[in-house]
Structure 1
Amino acid sequence: MKHSIFIVEDDPNIRDIVSTYLKKEGYHVSMADNAEDAWELTKEHAPNMWILDIMLPGMDGYELCKKIRQQSEVPIIIISAKDEEVDKILGLELGSDDYLTKPFSPRELVARVKRLFKRVDTSNTSNEQQDSDYYELGELKLYVDGRRVFWKGDEVEVTTKEFDMLHILIRNQNRAFAREELLALIWGEDYFGSDRAVDDLIKRLRKKIDGLPVETVWGYGYRLSSINEESE
């Protein structure tokens, strides 16, 4: 079954070039030049991945990213002429999986698309093979089958990368991970972004799971501590 990708980009040249490269790789591609039309078109048939420009007429790419994340955990790649770190961090905070600055190589974008799909497909295969995988730490419960997270009995909606982070940490309780190591494990060895992405991911998890026993190892990284597993 072909993966479907929706491109939301108001520059017709970029839109057509990206579409051509993706179609050559066998992907089913849909396109729109604004967020409002894209959102309406995908209410019935949601894509397997989104590629979003930020500076769109009307609703911008950030707002569309936020709306997508409220309903779906499919991969999102942001493409933007904004190359400031704050813009990249904002995109990650809203739930995007990758951020590519214009101008970019279409081949690089295709490589990132393939990498994200490979991670999702591998994760789904792993879930099918490990139906009984289950982790518990105090009030935190994580089910690999279905990629579900529960905190104090309530289910917590998490993104793909948020789940991956929790999965790594809960499987290695009390082990300290360097930011660079987490970046490679979650984003891949070929990710070119800043390790600030790791800090942002932890920040999002702490916000969603109040009391999560993840500790900052100053100047190094993070660990999930079993010392604090007692519920308050």
Structure 2
Amino acid sequence: MEKILIVEDDELIAELERDYLEANGYETEIASDGLEGEKKAKTGLHDAVLLDVMLPGKNGFEVCRELRRSLRLPIIMVTAKKEDIDKIRGLGLGADDYLVKPFSPAELVARVKSHIHIHNLLLESQEEKEETEITYHNLTILPKSRMVYLDGKEVVLVNKEFELLLFLAENPNIVFSKDTLFDRVWGMDSLGDVATVTVHINRLRDKLGKNDSETQFIETVWGAGYRFRIN
């Protein structure tokens, strides 16, 4: 369940926001001043913040500026002021949206829902762009891009060569029999036999050469199988 932090010193307004959000499936937490709100927001336990501008202790603009230094969650500022300069200031400090009191509770819920949805889409998009590299010595494997680099130069691998290398590299120092490798990479229903594994291992060795310690990345363990060895 998504959790919303309400930073509001007016108890009646805070409870109204809480009631409508919880009625729409959100969990809420209330902070009654700026310092408390900032502290709670920094716990990272919330999916969005409703932030009043006029707060005791520390005003909403100051809190928004501080939160934007470390948090990327949606911040919706709430105020009784209607001046454009206040909206511009809040948005300039990193707020995602601005609501002017009095507002429709249904509009509040709709904006919260919209900004959380947009935020989640952006995070998913960024996660797709970010790729975790597997790097051992002078060898780098990019799982999503299905690319391999040795000493900074790309090594061209066919499909099963890449899948075999990736499986071994994701399980370093573990010995796998030919039967297990054939099952994991080719699948039990594939045509062929375990000799295919040996052929692909030899091709990988030819293409990858040796690592920094002058040993093969893929090591034969006689009578047992193969392993991707790292020191």
Which bin holds the TM-score, normalised by the shorter protein? 0.5 to 0.7
Structure 1 pair 131–67 and aligned structure 2 pair: CA distance change class (3 A): closer
Q: Which amino acid aligns with 1:111?
A: A
SS of aligned partner of 2:16: helix
Structure 1, unpaired ranges of 5+:
133-232
Q: 2:10 — aligned with what? A: 11
Q: 1:61 — aligned with what? A: 60
TM-superposed CA distance for 1:125, in Å, is 3.0
Q: 2:33 — aligned with what? A: 34
Structure 1 pair 42–118 and aligned structure 2 pair: CA distance change class (3 A): closer
TM-superposed CA distance for 1:22, in Å, is 0.6
Q: 1:186 — aligned with what? A: none
SS of aligned partner of 1:7: strand
Q: 1:89 — aligned with what? A: 88
Compare 24-33 and 120-129 and name the one that shifted more.
Answer: 120-129
User: What CA distance in whole angstroms lies between the structure 1 residues aligned with 2:41 and 2:74?
Assistant: 15
User: What CA distance in whole angstroms lies between the structure 1 residues aligned with 2:85 and 2:40?
Assistant: 30
User: What CA distance in whole angstroms lies between the structure 2 residues aligned with 1:120 and 1:128?
Assistant: 12
Tell me, yes or no, if the aligned pair for 2:41 and 2:49 is still in contact at 8 Å: no
Q: Which amino acid aligns with 2:3?
A: S
TM-score relative to the length of structure 1: 0.53
Structure 1 pair 44–124 and aligned structure 2 pair: CA distance change class (3 A): closer
User: What CA distance in whole angstroms lies between the structure 2 residues aligned with 1:85 and 1:25?
Assistant: 30
Q: 1:80 — aligned with what? A: 79
How many positions carry a matched residue from both structures? 132
Residue 114 (structure 1) aligned with residue 129 (structure 2): no
TM-score relative to the length of structure 2: 0.54
User: What CA distance in whole angstroms lies between the structure 2 residues aligned with 1:13 and 1:66?
Assistant: 26
Q: Percent identity?
A: 41
> 5 Å matches for 1:36-185?
36-130=35-129
Q: 1:187 — aligned with what? A: none
Q: 1:225 — aligned with what? A: none
TM-superposed CA distance for 1:25, in Å, is 1.4
User: What CA distance in whole angstroms lies between the structure 2 residues aligned with 1:131 and 1:10?
Assistant: 40
TM-superposed CA distance for 1:57, in Å, is 1.1
SS of aligned partner of 2:39: helix
Structure 1 pair 71–126 and aligned structure 2 pair: CA distance change class (3 A): closer
Cα RMSD (Å): 1.9
Q: Which amino acid aligns with 1:68?
A: L
Q: Which amino acid aligns with 2:66?
A: K
Q: Which amino acid aligns with 1:91?
A: G
TM-superposed CA distance for 1:28, in Å, is 1.4
Structure 2, unpaired ranges of 5+:
132-231
Q: Which amino acid aligns with 2:121?
A: T
User: What CA distance in whole angstroms lies between the structure 1 residues aligned with 2:120 and 2:91?
Assistant: 21
Deviations 1:54-79 (CA, angstroms, capped at 9, x unpaired): 01112100000011001111110001
Tell me, yes or no, if the aligned pair for 2:41 and 2:67 is still in contact at 8 Å: no
User: What CA distance in whole angstroms lies between the structure 2 residues aligned with 1:27 and 1:120?
Assistant: 16
List, as ranges, runs of 4+ consecutive aligned residues in structure 1 with deviation greater than 6 Å.
none
Q: Which amino acid aligns with 1:6?
A: L
